[in-house]
Chains A and B, each alone.
Chain A
Amino acid sequence: DTEVTQTPKHLVMGMTNKKSLKCEQHMGHRAMYWYKQKAKKPPELMFVYSYEKLSINESVPSRFSPECPNSSLLNLHLHALQPEDSALYLCASTGVPGGTGELFFGEGSRLTVL
């Protein structure tokens, strides 16, 4: 199984809503990532979890709250978002934190904030 699965694929939410994005992998990878991608732009790193601990937070606003309940699962909790937060949110994983190898990406969750 070489997949990173993200749910939901599409999400529409109001600025006062609370929602969550979910990411799951069963490849035994110990590093998991959240990226944000706007249209016609490269992915921007948001968070990195290594061995289930937050290792990198790229100065992301607190309305985005990541969580790594276990080594296979990564969540991104969303609260009080702004319309400019509308984007494709990509999850990725890799085998060894700090090592160098292929990042496996999910298909993304497309978020629209009204």
Chain B
Amino acid sequence: AQSVTQPDIHITVSEGASLELRCNYSYGATPYLFWYVQSPGQGLQLLLKYFSGDTLVQGIKGFEAEFKRSQSSFNLRKPSVHWSDAAEYFCAVEEYGGNTPLVFGKGTRLSVIA
């Protein structure tokens, strides 16, 4: 079965510092990979997605993620964090061409300090 691991439950970074959130997946075939962000009390918003092609994908709000098949990873990065980036971040995986819904990781909570 597919699974998604986000090893970091909570990360705190200083405003202006760089950010990397880790995501590892377990799946035999080519997965479709997503990062979603959830601000407190809100729904989830898609930051970016990877289906195929260039393994470095750009998203909204200055985020990017890199798919590394050899490491089964899809880490999210941002070069300079803003206070408004404080939120919960979920990595998710979906089976290629399948009927199975998204599998979410447990999430990483990002705090931003001045």
A3-15 CB mask vs B (1 if < 8 Å, else 0) is 0101000000000
Partner of A42, one of B45, B98, B99, B105: B105
Interface residues on A, range: 20 to 34
Say yes or no: is B102 at the interface (Cβ < 8 Å to chain A). yes
Residues A100 and B43 in contact, CB atoms below 8 Å apart = no
B81-114 CB mask vs A (1 if < 8 Å, else 0) is 0000000101000101111011011110100000
- Give A9 to B31 CA distance when docked, in angstroms: 34
- Give A89 to B51 CA distance when docked, in angstroms: 28
Say yes or no: is B71 at the interface (Cβ < 8 Å to chain A). no
**A41-B106, A42-B90 given as contacts; is B43 within 8 A of A98 (CB)?**
no
Residues A107 and B96 in contact, CB atoms below 8 Å apart = no
Report the minimal beta-carbon distance from A109 to chain B, rounded to whole angstroms: 10
- Give A42 to B4 CA distance when docked, in angstroms: 11
- Give A42 to B45 CA distance when docked, in angstroms: 13
Residues A42 and B51 in contact, CB atoms below 8 Å apart = no
**Residues of A with C-beta under 8 A to B99:** 55, 97-98
Report the minimal beta-carbon distance from A48 to chain B, rounded to whole angstroms: 6
Say yes or no: is B42 at the interface (Cβ < 8 Å to chain A). yes
- Give A102 to B60 CA distance when docked, in angstroms: 13
Say yes or no: is B44 at the interface (Cβ < 8 Å to chain A). yes
Query: Can you name 23 A-B residue pairings with CB atoms under 8 Å?
Result: A6-B43, A40-B107, A41-B107, A42-B105, A42-B107, A43-B44, A43-B90, A43-B104, A45-B101, A45-B102, A56-B101, A88-B41, A90-B44, A98-B99, A100-B32, A100-B51, A100-B96, A102-B34, A103-B44, A104-B46, A105-B45, A107-B43, A108-B41
The 4 A-B pairs at the shortest CB distance, nearest first, are namely A105-B43, A42-B104, A105-B44, A98-B99
Q: Which residues of B contact A (CB under 8 A)?
A: 32, 34, 36, 41-46, 49, 51, 88, 90, 94, 96-99, 101-102, 104-107, 109
